[in-house]
Chains A and B, each alone.
Chain A
Amino acid sequence: MHAFNYHRPSSVNDAAALAAKQAEGKLLAGGQSLVQAMKLRLASPSDLIDLGAIGDLKGIKVDGGSVSIGAMTRHAEVAGSAEVKKAIPALAYLASQIGDRQVRNMGTLGGSLANADPAADYPAAVLGLGATVVTNKRKIAADDFFKGLYETALQPGEIITQVSFPAPKRAAYVKFKNPASRFAIVGVFVADTGKGVRVAVTGAGPSVFRVADMEKALGAKFAPDAVAGIKVKADGLNTDLHASAEYRAHLVTVMAKRAVEAALK
Chain B
Amino acid sequence: MNAPLIGARIQRKEDYRFLTGSGQYTDDVVLPGQTYAVFVRSPHAHAKIKSIKKDKALKAPGVLAVYTGEDLAAAKVGGLPCGWLITGTDGQPMKEPPHPPLAQGKVRYVGDHVAVVVGESIEAARDGAELVEVDYEALPAVVDATKAMQKGAPALHDIAPDNKCYTWALGDKAAVDAAFAKAAHVTKLEFVNNRLIPNAIEPRAANARYSRADDSYTLYVANQNPHVERLLMTAFVLGLPEHKVRVVAPDVGGGFGSKIYLYAEDVVVTWASRQLARPVKWTAERSESFVSDAHGRDHHTLAELAMDKDGRFLGMRVHTTANLGAYLSTFASCIPTILYATLLAGQYTTPVIYCEVTAVFTNTAPVDAYRGAGRPEATYVVERLVETAAREMKLDPAEIRRRNFIRTFPYQTPVALMYDTGNYEATLDAAMNMGDVAGFARRKEEAARRGKLRGLGYACYIEACGIAPSNIAGALGARAGLFEAGEIRVHPTGSVTVFTGSHAHGQGHETTFAQVVADRLGLPIESVDVVHGDTSKILFGMGTYGSRSIAVGGTAIVKALDKIIAKGKKIAAHLMEAAESDIEYDRGVFKVAGTDKQKAFGEVAFAAYVPHNYPLDKLEPGLNENAFYDPTNFTFPAGSYVCEVEIDPDTGKTTIVKFSAVDDFGKVINPMIVEGQVHGGLTQGIGQALTEGCRYDPETGQLVTGSFTDYCIPRADDVPSYQLDTRETPCTHNPLGVKGCGEAGAIGAPAAVMNAITDALWSMGVKDLAMPATSESVWRAIHMKRAA
CA distance A208 to B35 in the complex (A): 48
Partner of A241, one of B130, B653, B710, B775: B710
Known: A241-B704, A243-B776, A247-B779. A176 touches B287 (CB 8 A): no
Cβ of B172 within 8 Å of any chain A Cβ, yes or no, is no
Cβ of A40 within 8 Å of any chain B Cβ, yes or no, is yes
CA distance A241 to B651 in the complex (A): 16
Cβ of B705 within 8 Å of any chain A Cβ, yes or no, is yes
User: Which residues of the partner chain A approach B136 to less than 8 Å between Cβ atoms?
Assistant: none
Cβ of A193 within 8 Å of any chain B Cβ, yes or no, is no
User: Which residues of the partner chain B approach A2 to less than 8 Å between Cβ atoms?
Assistant: 127
Q: How far is the CB of A245 from chain B (nearest CB, A)?
A: 11
Instruction: Flag if A247 contacts B776 (CB, 8 Å).
Output: yes
CA distance A181 to B776 in the complex (A): 16
Q: How far is the CB of B62 from chain A (nearest CB, A)?
A: 12
Q: Which of B4-35 contact A (CB under 8 A)?
A: none
Per-residue B-contact encoding for A171-184, CB less than 8 Å = 1, 0 else: 00000100111000
Instruction: Flag if B711 contacts A180 (CB, 8 Å).
Output: yes
CA distance A179 to B653 in the complex (A): 10
CA distance A244 to B780 in the complex (A): 11
User: Which residues of the partner chain B approach A18 to less than 8 Å between Cβ atoms?
Assistant: none
User: Which residues of the partner chain A approach B776 to less than 8 Å between Cβ atoms?
Assistant: 242-244, 247
CA distance A181 to B704 in the complex (A): 14
> What count of chain B residues pass the 8 Å CB interface test?
25
CA distance A247 to B130 in the complex (A): 40
Q: How far is the CB of B604 from chain A (nearest CB, A)?
A: 55
Partner of A179, one of B123, B130, B287, B718: B718
User: Which residues of the partner chain A approach B695 to less than 8 Å between Cβ atoms?
Assistant: 241
Cβ of A250 within 8 Å of any chain B Cβ, yes or no, is yes
Name the residue in A244, A247, A251 with the highest tally of chain B Cβ atoms < 10 Å from its Cβ. A247
User: Which residues of the partner chain A approach B783 to less than 8 Å between Cβ atoms?
Assistant: 250
Instruction: Flag if B691 contacts A180 (CB, 8 Å).
Output: yes
Instruction: Flag if A241 contacts B691 (CB, 8 Å).
Output: no
Q: How far is the CB of B762 from chain A (nearest CB, A)?
A: 23
Known: A247-B776, A247-B779. A180 touches B718 (CB 8 A): no
Cβ of A254 within 8 Å of any chain B Cβ, yes or no, is yes
User: Which residues of the partner chain A approach B774 to less than 8 Å between Cβ atoms?
Assistant: 179, 242
Q: How far is the CB of B694 from chain A (nearest CB, A)?
A: 11
User: Which residues of the partner chain B approach A241 to less than 8 Å between Cβ atoms?
Assistant: 695, 704-705, 710
CA distance A40 to B287 in the complex (A): 9
Partner of A176, one of B123, B651, B708, B712: B651
Q: How far is the CB of B753 from chain A (nearest CB, A)?
A: 14
Instruction: Flag if A180 contacts B651 (CB, 8 Å).
Output: no
Q: Which of B681-703 contact A (CB under 8 A)?
A: 690-691, 695
Instruction: Flag if A180 contacts B709 (CB, 8 Å).
Output: yes
Known: A242-B774, A242-B776, A243-B776. A254 touches B651 (CB 8 A): yes
Q: Which residue of A lies closest to B648 (CB)?
A: A254
Q: Which of B245-269 contact A (CB under 8 A)?
A: none
Instruction: Flag if B708 contacts A181 (CB, 8 Å).
Output: yes
**What secondary structure prevails in chain A residues at the interface with B?**
loop
Q: Which of B734-788 contact A (CB under 8 A)?
A: 774-776, 779-780, 783
Q: How far is the CB of B290 from chain A (nearest CB, A)?
A: 12
Cβ of B55 within 8 Å of any chain A Cβ, yes or no, is no
Q: Which residue of A lies closest to B691 (CB)?
A: A179
Name the residue in B653, B711, B718, B776 with the highest tally of chain A Cβ atoms < 10 Å from its Cβ. B776
Instruction: Flag if A251 contacts B651 (CB, 8 Å).
Output: yes
Known: A180-B712, A181-B708. A254 touches B650 (CB 8 A): yes
User: Which residues of the partner chain B approach A244 to less than 8 Å between Cβ atoms?
Assistant: 776
Q: How far is the CB of A160 from chain B (nearest CB, A)?
A: 25
CA distance A263 to B774 in the complex (A): 28
Q: How far is the CB of A43 from chain B (nearest CB, A)?
A: 15
User: Which residues of the partner chain B approach A179 to less than 8 Å between Cβ atoms?
Assistant: 690-691, 712, 718, 774-775
Q: How far is the CB of A3 from chain B (nearest CB, A)?
A: 8
User: Which residues of the partner chain A approach B690 to less than 8 Å between Cβ atoms?
Assistant: 179
CA distance A242 to B779 in the complex (A): 13
CA distance A2 to B126 in the complex (A): 9
CA distance A41 to B127 in the complex (A): 10
Instruction: Flag if B651 contacts A181 (CB, 8 Å).
Output: no
Q: Which of A165-216 contact B (CB under 8 A)?
A: 176, 179-181
Instruction: Flag if B718 contacts A181 (CB, 8 Å).
Output: no
User: Which residues of the partner chain B approach A243 to less than 8 Å between Cβ atoms?
Assistant: 775-776
Q: Which of B118-134 contact A (CB under 8 A)?
A: 123, 126-127, 130
Instruction: Flag if A181 contacts B709 (CB, 8 Å).
Output: yes
Instruction: Flag if B710 contacts A250 (CB, 8 Å).
Output: no
Q: How far is the CB of B645 from chain A (nearest CB, A)?
A: 15
Q: How far is the CB of B120 from chain A (nearest CB, A)?
A: 15
Q: How far is the CB of A246 from chain B (nearest CB, A)?
A: 9
User: Which residues of the partner chain A approach B287 to less than 8 Å between Cβ atoms?
Assistant: 40
Q: How far is the CB of B568 from chain A (nearest CB, A)?
A: 54
Q: How far is the CB of B783 from chain A (nearest CB, A)?
A: 8
User: Which residues of the partner chain A approach B126 to less than 8 Å between Cβ atoms?
Assistant: 41
CA distance A251 to B652 in the complex (A): 10
CA distance A251 to B690 in the complex (A): 19
Q: Which residue of B lies closest to A39 (CB)?
A: B285
Q: Which residue of B lies closest to A243 (CB)?
A: B776
Q: How far is the CB of B742 from chain A (nearest CB, A)?
A: 26
Name the residue in A1, A181, A241, A244 with the highest tally of chain B Cβ atoms < 10 Å from its Cβ. A241
Known: A40-B287, A241-B705, A254-B651. A180 touches B710 (CB 8 A): yes
CA distance A173 to B651 in the complex (A): 16
User: Which residues of the partner chain A approach B708 to less than 8 Å between Cβ atoms?
Assistant: 180-181
User: Which residues of the partner chain A approach B779 to less than 8 Å between Cβ atoms?
Assistant: 247, 250
CA distance A180 to B783 in the complex (A): 24
CA distance A208 to B651 in the complex (A): 21
Q: Which of B462-515 contact A (CB under 8 A)?
A: none
Can you pick out 13 interface pairs between chain A and chain B where the beta carbons lie within 8 Å of each other? A1-B123, A40-B287, A41-B126, A179-B690, A179-B775, A180-B708, A180-B709, A180-B711, A241-B704, A247-B779, A247-B780, A251-B651, A254-B651
Extra A-B contacts (15), CB below 8 Å, given A179-B718, A181-B708, A254-B650: A176-B775, A180-B710, A180-B711, A180-B712, A181-B709, A241-B704, A241-B705, A241-B710, A242-B774, A242-B776, A243-B776, A244-B776, A247-B776, A250-B783, A254-B651
10 smallest CB-CB distances across A and B, nearest first, come from A180-B712, A181-B709, A247-B776, A179-B712, A254-B650, A179-B691, A243-B776, A241-B710, A180-B710, A254-B651
